[in-house]
């Protein structure tokens, strides 16, 4: 087999309750967690469409994906590759739930003839990826990953492989999610996944569930030699990824974090590294009792005592489901750029029942950037890990 091509990240875009745009997002990650629901109140979709009619024909998740793709491609300096070699590998956990719920109410209150003819393309999980490819004329692979909360991490891993193996030269990848509708919130609340205290407290003794959020992050992946030849700004590179399944329970993680630990090890091996070479872990860290416990066990198994710094940015952002992995990969790349690791907001009281992990809390931690891991673990037992590194590594 020929040598794998290297994969650079040359553009980033983000819409999050922590902030829209890279600087605002970074500032938010290093600030106190917002009070109450983690909705995005300052996002104006009309800024990213030619006219209001176009925006109305897109679900909110697609609107956010379109926005972050525009930001990321502008950040990357546009596209210079052959459009036939440029693809979209995008992710979502659910799809257009808000539109679906709105149209069910229209059916109930006004009758079948009033249901929007645009409902079906608006609720399709693949709508964000399709919209990006059409907006920018990208004719390469266009596929959507829907593996719950691991979706955008899986998308980044798959997109990387397509470039590594020579099937594409540029991939627009990431994720978008917006399911904070009444039915969506009620469903997660009634399964006791959401925090009853209204706080996200990853790995804390008093954690009681996650805070739902919405948002999107898009990353532009490009074959390294091409990126270097055009003198692109390179945030980092993706060295490898891992994917496996717990095969245990539809919502609960495998006991002891065995599946998560195996996935981390797969990613490390795919990157050609050892666990001792991982300098930082952005944990899945949802703030749910079972998931945080399983991940802490997994981290302990992979890294032992005195492991690398660990943080969960969900203390600030909340949990964006299928978009979470893309948001967290973006935060790692900004950590390379800013040479700091954001603290785990909401963490106050260590849990004596969890293994001791090297959790960053209280204030940002200065560091010398090196290979870093982002973890995502989703309902259905889907596990995903991706390894990113600064380009001088």
**Catalytic pick from 149, 263, 279, 385?**
149
Strands 215-223, 7-16: pairing kind = antiparallel
* 284 catalytic per annotation: yes
Question: Is residue 25 within 8 Å of residue 334, measured between CB atoms?
Answer: yes
Tokens of 344: 């785990």
**Catalytic pick from 86, 154, 279, 319?**
319
Q: Is 73 left (phi over 0), alpha (psi -120 to 50) or beta?
A: alpha
How far is CA 305 from each of CA 258, 299, 308, 356, 372, rounded to the nearest angstrom?
17, 10, 9, 8, 18
* 319 catalytic per annotation: yes
Q: Is 384 left (phi over 0), alpha (psi -120 to 50) or beta?
A: beta
Tokens of 251: 């919502």
CA atoms of 295 and 285, how far apart (whole Å): 7
Contacts of 108 (CB under 8 A, 6+ apart): none
* 248 catalytic per annotation: no
**Catalytic pick from 263, 279, 284, 385?**
284
The residue among 32, 4, 1, 2 whose CA lies nearest residue 18 is 32
Just list the catalytic residues: 149, 284, 319
């Amino acid at each position: 087999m020929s040598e794998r091509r290297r994969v650079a990240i040359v553009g980033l875009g983000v819409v999050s309750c922590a902030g829209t745009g890279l600087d605002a997002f970074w500032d938010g990650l290093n600030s106190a967690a917002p009070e109450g629901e983690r909705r995005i109140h300052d996002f104006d979709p009309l800024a990213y469409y030619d006219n209001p009619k176009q925006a109305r024909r897109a679900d909110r998740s697609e609107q956010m994906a379109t926005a972050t793709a525009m930001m990321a491609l502008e950040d990357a300096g546009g596209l210079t590759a052959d459009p036939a070699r440029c693809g979209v590998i995008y992710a979502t956990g659910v799809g257009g739930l808000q539109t679906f719920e709105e149209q069910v109410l229209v059916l109930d209150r006004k009758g079948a003839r009033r249901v929007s003819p645009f409902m079906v393309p608006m609720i399709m999980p693949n709508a964000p990826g399709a919209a990006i490819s059409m907006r920018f004329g990208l004719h390469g692979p266009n596929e959507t990953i829907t593996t719950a909360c691991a979706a955008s991490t899986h998308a980044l891993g798959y997109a990387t492989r397509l470039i590594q193996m020579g099937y594409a030269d540029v991939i627009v990848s990431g994720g978008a999610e917006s399911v904070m509708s009444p039915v969506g919130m009620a469903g997660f609340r009634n399964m006791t996944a959401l925090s009853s205290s209204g706080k996200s407290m990853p790995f804390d003794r008093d954690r009681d569930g996650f805070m739902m959020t919405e948002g999107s992050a898009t990353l532009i992946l490009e074959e390294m030699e091409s990126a270097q030849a055009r003198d692109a700004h390179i945030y980092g590179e993706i060295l490898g990824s891992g994917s496996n399944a717990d095969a245990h329970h539809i919502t609960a993680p495998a006991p002891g974090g065995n599946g998560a630990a195996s996935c981390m090890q797969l990613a490390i091996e795919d990157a050609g590294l050892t666990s001792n070479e991982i300098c930082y872990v952005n944990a899945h860290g949802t703030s749910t009792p079972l998931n945080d416990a399983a991940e802490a066990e997994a981290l302990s198994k992979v890294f032992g005592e005195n492991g690398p710094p660990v943080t969960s940015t969900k203390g600030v952002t909340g949990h964006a489901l299928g978009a979470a992995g893309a948001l967290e990969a973006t935060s790692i790349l900004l950590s390379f750029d800013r040479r700091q690791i954001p603290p785990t907001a909401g963490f106050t009281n260590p849990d004596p029942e969890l293994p001791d992990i090297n959790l960053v809390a209280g204030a940002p931690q200065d560091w010398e950037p090196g290979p870093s891991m982002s973890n995502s673990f989703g309902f259905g037992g889907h596990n995903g890990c991706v390894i990113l590194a600064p380009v001088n590594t």
